[in-house]
């Protein structure tokens, strides 16, 4: 699996919108507006790939001088629970640090709160051991 930053408007970005629609929006009967997708030009877009296939994605949206919000995290349904989301969180955190951000904000829907908490606790434990 390869983790990388992707560009808005590319084929990879189209794959990302499709994945987010299938995993996050369609189950709630929601879709994306053109404005919403346009605003993502400013975001840091991240994808996990197996060759050309997008397995998972997330993005970082700037919320202040030194803060970003991690959002729109989605892993293909049949690949959830295999460590992909966790790896992507690690990648996103390193990317945010590299770009000079000091604070990572996360909001989670009820079903993903356990996952987010699990990741924060691991990160805290790793930093404690450093
Ligand atoms: C939530 C989601 C991103 C997690 O990604 P994932 O690849 O399934 O998660 P991982 O397999 O990387 O799990 C990482 C760790 O979190 C734990 N975890 C995962 N989901 C959990 C949950 N709901 N509660 C508690 N722990 C959880 C795993 O057990 C694993 O722990 P371990 O490393 O100690 O074994 C993914 O399941 C998903 O796309 N869900 C549907 C969309 C969604 O809810 N997105 C988030 C919107 S806020």
- For every residue of 56-103, DSSP letters joined together read EEEEEEE-SSSEEEEEEEEE-GGGTTSSHHHHHHHHHHHHHHHTT--E
Cα–Cα distance measured from residue 6 to residue 56, given in angstroms and rounded to the nearest whole number: 12
Ligand 1 atom nearest residue 74's Cα? 39
Which residue's C-alpha comes closest to atom 24 of ligand 1?
114
Parent domain of 98: 2-129
Residue 77, C-beta contacts closer than 8 angstroms, at least 6 positions apart: 22, 23
CATH number of the structural domain spanning residue 32: 3.40.630.30
Of 13-17, 19-23, 25-29, 121-125, the least confident:
121-125
91 Cβ below 6 A of ligand 1: no
Phi and psi at 6, nearest 5°, equal -120, 165
Report the nearest-CA residue for atom 19 of ligand 1.
Answer: 115
Mutate to test the pocket of ligand 1, among 58, 73, 85 (most ligand atoms within 8 A of CB): 85
Lowest mean pLDDT among 6-20, 56-70, 82-96, 111-125: 111-125
Determine the average pLDDT of the residues in 58-72: 97
Predicted pLDDT of residue 126? 82
- Evaluate whether 100 touches 66 at the Cβ level (below 8 Å): yes
Name the residue with the closest Cα to ligand 1, atom 7: 85
Q: Are strands 67-75 and 103-106 parallel, antiparallel or unpaired?
A: parallel
The encoded tokens of residue 36 equal: 């919403």
Name the pTM for this structure.
Answer: 0.95
**Is the CB–ligand 1 distance for residue 29 below 6 Å?**
no
- The count of structural domains within the chain is 1
């Amino acid at each position: 699996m390869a983790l990388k930053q992707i560009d808005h408007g590319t084929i990879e970005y189209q794959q990302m919108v499709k994945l987010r629609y299938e995993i996050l929006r369609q189950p709630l009967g929601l879709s994306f507006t053109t404005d919403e997708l346009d605003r993502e030009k400013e975001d840091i877009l991240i994808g996990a790939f197996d060759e050309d296939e997008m397995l998972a994605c997330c993005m970082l949206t700037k919320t202040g001088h030194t803060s970003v919000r991690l959002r729109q995290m989605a892993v293909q349904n049949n690949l959830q629970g295999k460590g992909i989301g966790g790896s992507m969180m690690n990648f996103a955190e390193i990317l945010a640090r590299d770009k000079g951000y000091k604070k990572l904000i996360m909001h989670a829907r009820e079903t993903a709160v356990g996952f987010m908490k699990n990741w924060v606790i691991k990160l805290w434990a790793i930093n404690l051991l450093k």
